[in-house]
Every structure is written in structure tokens, then in C-alpha cells.
Amino acid sequence: MPNTETQLAQWLSKQSELDGIPVSLDAPPQHPERFITIERVGGGETKLIDTPMLAIQCWAGSRVKAAQLADLTKTVLERAWQLPNVARIDVQSTINFPLDESTPRYQITVELTVHKYDAA
């Protein structure tokens, strides 16, 4: 099973609402107009359950467009329970989180509950 970041990035990339918007673990070297990055920023883990805290960053050409992309992404994330082994997703916060004054982005912080075994 791929790690949770990779699994979520692949799943988001396949959602029709985000068609044409690159989703990856790293920012592309040549930034497109809009893109999404995902990184694990914490969370707990037991032998059976992983509860990763993920930062999902929505980048765009303006603060308004970044906020709109974050809102769209949150709507799509409501269906993330469809991922294999994901039992729950909880959006913790959404904040304006620019890289610098010329690079707008919003960050969505989510916590997943993921079973570490395959259901029979």
C-alpha cells in the first residue's frame, strides 16, 4: 500500500472537479497557474491505525483564486473516505498561508484515520 500522502495525491488527481490541476508531494519546478501539494506534518500511529495530519496546500495566481481552489479541494476531500483503508477524514482548518508576498496559497489541514491492514 502506498503511503497516505501518495495515495491521497493520486486520488485527488483523478477527481473530475480538479481536472487539469496538478497534485503532487512537491511543488513543480515551473509553477503552473494552479496546483496542489500534500505533505504529512504530524499525526500518531499504532500497529493497526495511522492518523496522519496532512497539510494540503492550494497554490494559485492570486489570493482569491487560491482560496477558491482550497474551497473546491475541501468539497472533494469530503469523499476521501472512499480511499482504501481510510475510515475518516476531518478538516481541522483552512488558512491563508502565502509562501511570500508574490506566491499566494491556502493551506487545508486534515487528519485521516487509516487502517494499516487490508480488509478481507
Residue boundaries of the structural domains of the chain: 4-115
pLDDT of residue 120: 52
pLDDT of residue 95: 98
pTM for this predicted structure? 0.93
Give the model confidence (pLDDT) of 34-44 as tens digits.
999 999 999 99
Q: What cell numbers appear for 35 in the block?
A: 496546483
Asked if 39 and 55 touch (Cβ cutoff 8 Å), the reply is yes
pLDDT of residue 84: 87
End-to-end CA distance of the chain: 15
Give the model confidence (pLDDT) of 51-97 as tens digits.
999 999 999 999 999 999 999 999 999 999 999 899 999 999 999 99
CATH of region 4-115? 3.30.2000.30
Task: Please state the rounded mean pLDDT for residues 104-119.
Answer: 92
Is residue 70 helix, strand or coil? helix
